[in-house]
């Protein structure tokens, strides 16, 4: 079955970086994009950006683009989200989701279980 398996919880200090992985299985990885969404405790959902697993094209939310790096490794069908210069308000659950801008049917239809990132001194 189609799955996105994310890496485990992280605790980081302010100013550090975190890299979350999202390993895809059950579908052709390079035929889709991966979107990232985060949710701070008790808050709503925030779209962070997406990356094409086909050609690496990406689009980031402007508020994060100075600190955010999305990459993919097609040899392992894994997408990565790295957030730098962490602040306390980056504390959130980070989700990856299969996505595409080409076909609404597959737009954010499958999600990973989420990775908790806590930023605390």
Partner 1 sequence: DIQMTQSPSAMSASVGDRVTITCRASQGISNYLAWFQQKPGKVPKRLIYASSNLQSGVPSRFSGSGSGTEFTLTISSLQPEDFATYYCLQHNRYPWTFGQGTKVEIK
Question: Which spans of this chain sit near partner 1 (rule: CB under 8 A)?
Answer: 35, 37, 44-47, 59, 61-63, 95, 101, 104-105, 107-109, 111-114
CB of 79 to partner 1, least distance (A): 16
Identity of the residue, 19 or 63, whose beta carbon is nearer to partner 1 in the bound complex: 63
Closest separation between CB of residue 106 and partner 1, Å?
A: 9
Residue 45: which H helix or E strand, with range?
strand 45-52
Q: What is the C-alpha separation between 72 and 112, in angstroms, rounded?
A: 15
Q: How far is the CB of 94 from partner 1 (least distance, A)?
A: 12
Residue 86 CA to residue 72 CA, distance in Å, equals 21
The Cα 6–Cα 36 span in angstroms is 11
- For the chain, the farthest-separated pair of C-alpha atoms sits apart, in whole angstroms, at 43
Radius of gyration of the chain measured on its C-alpha atoms: 14
β-pair type (10-12, 115-119):
parallel
Q: Which is nearer to partner 1, 55 or 62 (CB)?
A: 62
Shortest separation between residue 95's beta carbon and partner 1, angstroms: 7
Toward partner 1, which CB reaches closer, 35 or 77? 35
Nearer CB in complex with partner 1: 37/92: 37
């Amino acid at each position: 079955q189609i799955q996105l398996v994310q890496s485990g919880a992280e605790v980081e200090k302010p100013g550090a970086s975190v890299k979350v992985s999202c390993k895809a299985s059950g579908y052709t990885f390079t035929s889709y994009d991966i979107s990232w969404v985060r949710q701070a405790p008790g808050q709503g959902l925030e779209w962070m950006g997406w990356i094409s697993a086909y050609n690496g094209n990406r689009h980031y939310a402007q508020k994060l683009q100075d600190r955010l790096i999305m990459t993919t490794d097609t040899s392992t069908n894994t997408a990565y989200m790295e957030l730098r210069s962490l602040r306390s308000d980056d504390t959130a659950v980070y989700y990856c989701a299969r996505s595409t801008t080409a076909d609404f049917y597959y737009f954010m239809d499958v999600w990973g279980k989420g990775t908790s990132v806590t930023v605390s001194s």
